[in-house]
Amino acid sequence: MSIQKIDQQKLVNEYAAVRSFTEKVVKPLNPEDFIIQSMEDASPPKWHLAHTTWFFERFLLKGYLADYNEFNIQFDYLFNSYYETAGPFHPRIERGLITRPSVEEVFGYRKHVDHYIKELLTSGRMDDQGEEIKSLIEIGLNHEQQHQELLLTDIKYNLSRNPLLPAYQTREKKETEREPEPVTYIEIEGGLIETGNNGESFCFDNEKPVHKVWLNSYRLASRPVTNAEYCAFIDDGGYSKPQYWLSDGWSTVCKNKWEAPLYWFKRKEGWCTFTLAGEQRLHPNEPVCHVSFYEADAFARWSGKRLPTEEEWEYACCTQNIEGNLADTGRFHPQTAQRTDEPFLQIFGDVWEWTKSPYVSYPGNKPYEGTLGEYNAKFMCNQMVLRGGSCATPSSHIRPTYRNFFQPEKRWQFSGFRLAEDIPQ
């Protein structure tokens, strides 16, 4: 077997693993759960299953496999998300109205496309256009993993609108609640630093290129803000004191009558929250979750701190050995960092952490070519950057340079924050 053939088989295996995991995510659902859309942001699970399939069909099969036969030509309209240059698409707010095709047909669509993708990856086209195809497969798989996370966040929101508060999946074992480490503020020496991804391993187009940024010295909290700490903000009337809020944030609080993070509610015994395991007592020591940028910023002002910039957040990851030795993976440039022995805790894989940085392109950034250029670049307006990854983020997405982004009022994602402070010059 040739080296090229081994590479092709590796792609086939990676493709199959990601696609099968998506179907594992939806396995606990009832048939009715696949259709519901309880708000514009939360798409039905059936749509996620079909859209991720459309992505491979549209960008690979229709471009590289001459004998490809479409499963249903109407799906190109139904399951395009927002790609204007790919043609018209069904309105986002009406995805929950698509009762047909059935869930069974959508799974058939996935099987159909998977068959042809395997055919493409084992075909002679890989000899001439293998690098192009491999690059698109890689983007498609990372795109599907993003939707695996969105599936969980959307399923949670959809189920939360049911007054019975049903569980997506019950917890097999209740973990012992641990006391959080006392928060400390770790000093990071500033200067002219490098940030961004050098592209030696997979990253999205919005993470590149590596570029220089000046940072003043600062301190970053050793861990995220906890539920107990956020309760102190609530108890002090944080949601009723406009002096802590940005103008748009205060308008949002008043309009929506916010009094606590999303999914929080009070019982006689105190605060409870809705989780993927159903109703649970609020654990005071867990990172606060499902807060908007506005809430994170207001808490920071109330506490006399601030949110970090995304460059400060990323650079802090360069100062120590986190999750093994990420500094040696080619994802960033540790030679500009001053190492610290103090650990940052829960910086990956608990909650996405809001930063104070608006989502804009890096200097010299080049979006993907063609229709895929709409993947990230056109959203660089009126959104804020989050870093770190959450409990729902696939592990292969966990990297210091990953840039997530949402409008400042959104809070149905697993979003929290940690604080920063200036060092007097």
pLDDT in tens, 273-292: 999 999 999 999 999 999 99
Cis preceding linkage at 261, omega within 30: no
Integer Cα distance of 262 and 413 in angstroms = 10
Q: What pLDDT is attached to residue 332?
A: 37
Q: Is the pLDDT of residue 2 over 50?
A: no
- Token pair for 400: 């210091």
Average pLDDT on 8-31 reads: 96
- Over residues 310-366, the pLDDT tens digits come to 999 999 988 765 443 343 333 333 334 445 567 899 999 999 999 999 999 999 999
pLDDT at 407: 98
For the chain, how many helices (H) and strands (E)? 10, 12
Among residues 160, 155, 140, the alpha carbon closest in space to that of 27 is found at: 155
Q: What is the DSSP letter of 176?
A: P
pLDDT of 94 > 80? The answer is yes
Q: What pLDDT is stored for residue 6 in this prediction? A: 44
pLDDT on residue 105: 98
Mean pLDDT of 173-201: 86
Q: Dihedral, CA atoms, 124, 129, 132, 136, nearest 10 degrees?
A: -20
pLDDT at 340: 54
What does pLDDT average to over the chain?
A: 92
Q: What is the predicted pLDDT for the residue at 1?
A: 38
Instruction: Write phi, then psi, for 61 (nearest 5 degrees).
Output: -65, -40
* Burial tier of 251 (Cβ tally within 10 Å: 0-12, 13-18, 19+): middle
Residue range 247-257: mean pLDDT, rounded: 98
> What confidence score (pLDDT) does residue 66 get?
87
- Domain residue spans of the chain: 3-160, 185-422
pLDDT surpasses 60 at 411: yes
Q: Is 245's pLDDT higher than 90?
A: yes
**Sheet of 352-358, strand order:** 404-406, 384-387, 352-358, 415-416
Instruction: Identify the CA nearest to 112 among candidates 57, 60, 177.
Output: 57
> Mean pLDDT throughout 75-104?
96
Question: Which of 34-48, 118-132, 321-335 has the least mean pLDDT?
Answer: 321-335
pLDDT, residue 325, reads 37
Q: In DSSP terms, which residues pair with 221 in a beta bridge?
A: 185
CB 288 within 8 A of CB 183: no
Locus of tokens 């460059």: 311
Q: Are 46 and 33 in contact (CB under 8 A)?
A: no
**Contact between 387 and 310 (Cβ < 8 Å):** yes
Q: Is the per-residue pLDDT at 88 higher than 60?
A: yes
* Residue pointed to by tokens 């993993």: 145
User: Who contacts 358 (Cβ-Cβ below 8 Å, separation ≥6)?
Assistant: 383, 384, 385
pLDDT at residue 380 above 70?
Answer: yes
What number is the average pLDDT over the span 96-107? 97
Give the CATH fold of the 185-422 domain: paralog of FGE (formylglycine-generating enzyme) (3.90.1580)
Q: How do beta strands 415-416 and 270-275 pair?
A: unpaired
Mean pLDDT, range 204-211, rounded to an integer: 97
Q: Mean pLDDT throughout 14-18?
A: 97
Q: What percent of the chain has pLDDT over 70?
A: 92
Question: Using an 8 Å Cβ cutoff, are 385 and 341 in contact?
Answer: no
For range 3-30, the mean pLDDT: 88
CA distances from 237 to 49, 244, 284 (A): 43, 10, 18
- Predicted local distance difference test score (pLDDT) of residue 175: 59
Sorted by sequence, the CB contacts under 8 Å of residue 182 that are 6+ apart come out as none
Whether 113 shows a pLDDT value over 70: the answer reads yes
Quickly list DSSP for 25-84: HTTT--GGGGT---BTTB--HHHHHHHHHHHHIIIIIHHH-TT---S-TTHHHHS--S-G
CA distance 4 to 82: 35
- Per-residue pLDDT, 72: 98
Question: Is the confidence at residue 4, as pLDDT, over 60?
Answer: no
